[in-house]
Structure 1
């Protein structure tokens, strides 16, 4: 018994496009570098990017591949340069750049021109598994006041919302229109409220709209019903038709932030030129963005989306519910250390 190799359960992508993931028994990752750490995953958020990858409309990792890029868990093993992390509850930043360029040195690895990997998305296996391996430089300690599922709801959607709101506030807008009341839109609206900015949310889904309205947000079902000419729009939809409508609604010299994105086959850029509008992309967020929203959530300065949880074995049910629009808040996959079966000591330093 003691000589058996350790194994773990993982939900793996085995073909693209795919309706879902395949639950497999695989070998857990091992320490290979001084700065490697192994995290026993307790929970991992489901991101819209996961669905786009499954549908063949986004990144195409080498298969088989373990998705999952919004984890929280406890460090159970580490290389010699990262031993101080063992036993700590953490989450992570997603991107590993070349580590040498100005962008990486400024904490903007996500924009590195020589990006090495995006954990759980491309190049580095993710956290729909019992154990995930990351570099120590990616680790972010999490506040004790937040439950595991709350942390997992913030890792990417929270960092993206924080980045979006940070860029919006540079304009000191009197009013911001948020398109989409999913996790990113919900968190953006909450951060703007906390900053004292008047905010409207466009959300046609009655359940999501109702959840936001109960928190005191002004919610309308369409852009046509929003107050005219907002100074800033944060588009969290990833819906092509919303883009043209949103640009048309923006105030002259307004700022349009693309927190969600889609392929727009036919778009009239004359609307951008005539209004001297500014288009700005948002790619997740920095470590500082993630730390900021974790602190806001821990202090209860912002209220989180409703959390819906599925065990790892039912991850495809979560995808089905998301595609059907039945998830009013954030989908979380519950994963515990019991998904690792070690023959002897298990992963070690």
Structure 2
């Protein structure tokens, strides 16, 4: 295929990406070209723009949580077909390192992320390895399919890693796109009692609308103590989706003895916990990280959504055409926009 296409290109850190015409990419061996139909814009994209997340090269096309239609097959690809509806795992592993060969591809030692290490999906077309592509059931729209690949798969992976059991209690710190979906999965799939914590009025209201009965305004004092008091001694699991060392400590302090704090939020700051080591030991607390998601997480979610076992009504809160990308970015930045997930679309 020859010709040019539209792509949101980040050219300079600190300056918003701009809509640029570039050549349509050709899939290499083992790759496919996808015609983008929907792709989320999330807080991670804002971190890339402002430079707190470092990209491997510039300029680069943004976008890492896409859905679309297979448009062309590279040499050696026989697992997919042109015209097939798909979603894409934006975490692209090398496939050969020790972590990859042990099946831990999200921990790849040379992990490449769409929109950071290679051109992403905020464009009419993009290419990815065929192994990163997952069929999208006909019963799921492109917009929801796109956010399943990251905004829903990330909390799913964290929840699975936590070992939370049916009937337990959980605290979800940060009620943006990741936290809201974590609360919904915990309630619907695990029947877990959820306490939601945030500092933003719109996020707290979104959580209430999503069925989280117990929400805590973190602007108030003694948040962890309040959680322990309300849950009769603390929660079994705490999830940190903010990316803040202070919130990690609040998560640990909100746990009952034997509890686990799972950190999925990312920030370059060092953890400097004020928690005494003897408290960690005496209460047998666990602190662990959770990185991204796997193809299995995405595939399982697609099945659960397609069968109605999980429902995510209205979490795609804003949809804009690729040409209106700047409006999408501005919406994401507005604290009073009540955005849960912003998605851009294209119909190449």
Q: TM-score, length-normalised on structure 2?
A: 0.88
1:290 aligns with 2:298: yes
8 Å CA contact retained: 2:124, 2:346? yes
**Taking CA–CA contacts closer than 8 Å with sequence separation of 6 or more, which of the two structures ends up with the larger relative contact order?**
1
What 5-or-longer segments of structure 2 have no aligned partner? none
* Deviant stretches of 4+, over 6 Å: none
Higher alpha-carbon deviation: 322-331 or 131-140 = 322-331
Aligned to 2:308: 300
Aligned in 2, Cα 1:126/1:38: closer, same or farther, shift over 3 Å?
same
Aligned to 2:136: 142
Pick aligned residue for 1:38 from 33, 37, 43? 33
8 Å CA contact retained: 1:312, 1:334? yes
Aligned to 2:72: 77
Aligned to 1:153: 147
1:91 aligns with 2:96: no
Aligned in 2, Cα 1:263/1:99: closer, same or farther, shift over 3 Å?
closer
Deviations 1:182-228, CA, capped at 9 Å, x for gaps: 11111111111121121111133222322321332122222354335
Shift in Å, 1:15: 0.6
> What aligned pairs does 1:114-133 form with structure 2 within 5 A after superposition?
114-115=110-111, 117-122=112-117, 124-133=118-127
Task: Give the whole-Å Cα distance in 1 for the aligned partners of 2:288 and 2:306.
Answer: 29
Pick aligned residue for 2:346 from 332, 335, 349? 335
Aligned to 2:162: 168
Aligned in 2, Cα 1:253/1:92: closer, same or farther, shift over 3 Å?
same
Give SS of 1:336's match. coil
Task: Give the whole-Å Cα distance in 2 for the aligned partners of 1:76 and 1:282.
Answer: 33
Aligned to 1:343: none
Shift in Å, 1:157: 1.5
8 Å CA contact retained: 1:173, 1:231? no
What 5-or-longer segments of structure 1 have no aligned partner? 338-349
8 Å CA contact retained: 1:251, 1:275? no
| Residue correspondences, number | 330
Shift in Å, 1:234: 0.6
